[in-house]
């Protein structure tokens, strides 16, 4: 990596970030910082803009103890400031598409009538997916939001750890997702790194540009 590129702030932030293993238990996100993070995630792109997911933001200590047990006892679940659970829709209903179209009409001061073409396209496409395809498609969208969270957190100098190491069924039970047509796909813990976390000092391991990119 040439130094000029490395010194650009955003790239520097991405070097600074790492999947935090040990959080400083004493440091919590301020309301303002949490708000900035959540707003960054809310603005994530999604296919058609549908955002077929919800995100649980968990501060409560008792809930996090339970989640930790269902996440191979990983300490980030309790030692971070907040846990974010990304949960995609298990099944996408016609009413979900209608709610989205209503939102567009409201936000852009237009009518559902004018959105008829879009409505047909969305319903014909998404409702023709099998339930499994809908679930996978929904889960993919949550990973875009996760990526956004990681980059935004880095730029605000907030630490985060993305995590797939947890039991989805158990999380579903603890958070009452089953009753809500939701299924957890991925989680992230956010807060501030502990000085003792040795992982922060390790070099980043990434493919070289020539391994990663084919430039045609």
Q: Is 126 a binder of ligand FMN (CB under 6 A)? A: no
CB of 199 to ligand FMN, least distance (A): 7
152: left (phi over 0), alpha (psi -120 to 50) or beta: alpha
**For the purposes of burial, counting CB atoms within 10 Å of the CB of 43, is it exposed (0-12), middle (13-18) or buried (19 or more)?**
exposed
CB of 79 to ligand FMN, least distance (A): 12
Contact of 115 with 105, CB cutoff 8 Å: yes
Q: Is 18 a binder of ligand FMN (CB under 6 A)? A: yes
CB of 148 to ligand FMN, least distance (A): 13
Binding flags for ligand FMN, 137-166, as an x/- string (CB under 6 A): ------------------------xxxxx-
Residues contacting residue 205 through CB under 8 Å, at least 6 positions apart: none
Binding flags for ligand FMN, 195-214, as an x/- string (CB under 6 A): ---------x----------
Contact of 83 with 67, CB cutoff 8 Å: yes
Residues 40-69 that bind ligand FMN (CB under 6 A): none
Q: Which residues of the shown chain bind ligand FMN in the complex (CB under 6 A)?
A: 18-19, 21, 74, 161-165, 186, 204
């Amino acid at each position: 990596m040439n130094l000029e590129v490395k010194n650009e702030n955003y790239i520097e932030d991405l070097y600074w970030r790492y999947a935090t293993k040990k959080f400083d238990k004493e440091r919590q996100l301020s309301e303002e910082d949490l708000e900035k993070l959540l707003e960054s995630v809310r603005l994530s792109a999604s296919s058609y803009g549908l955002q077929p997911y919800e995100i649980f933001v968990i501060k409560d200590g008792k809930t996090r103890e339970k989640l930790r047990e269902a996440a191979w006892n990983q300490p980030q679940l309790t030692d971070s400031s907040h846990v974010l659970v990304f949960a995609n829709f298990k099944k996408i209903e016609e009413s979900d598409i209608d709610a989205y179209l209503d939102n567009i009409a409201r936000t852009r001061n237009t009518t559902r009538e004018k959105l008829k073409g879009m409505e047909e396209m969305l319903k014909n496409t998404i409702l023709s997916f099998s339930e499994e395809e809908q679930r996978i498609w929904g889960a993919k969208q949550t990973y875009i939001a996760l990526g956004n969270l990681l980059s935004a957190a880095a730029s605000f100098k907030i630490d985060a750890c993305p995590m797939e190491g947890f039991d989805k069924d158990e999380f579903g039970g603890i958070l009452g997702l089953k009753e809500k047509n939701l299924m957890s796909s991925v989680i992230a813990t956010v807060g501030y790194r502990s000085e003792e976390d040795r992982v922060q000092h390790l070099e980043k391991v990434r493919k070289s540009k020539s391994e990663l990119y084919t430039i045609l």
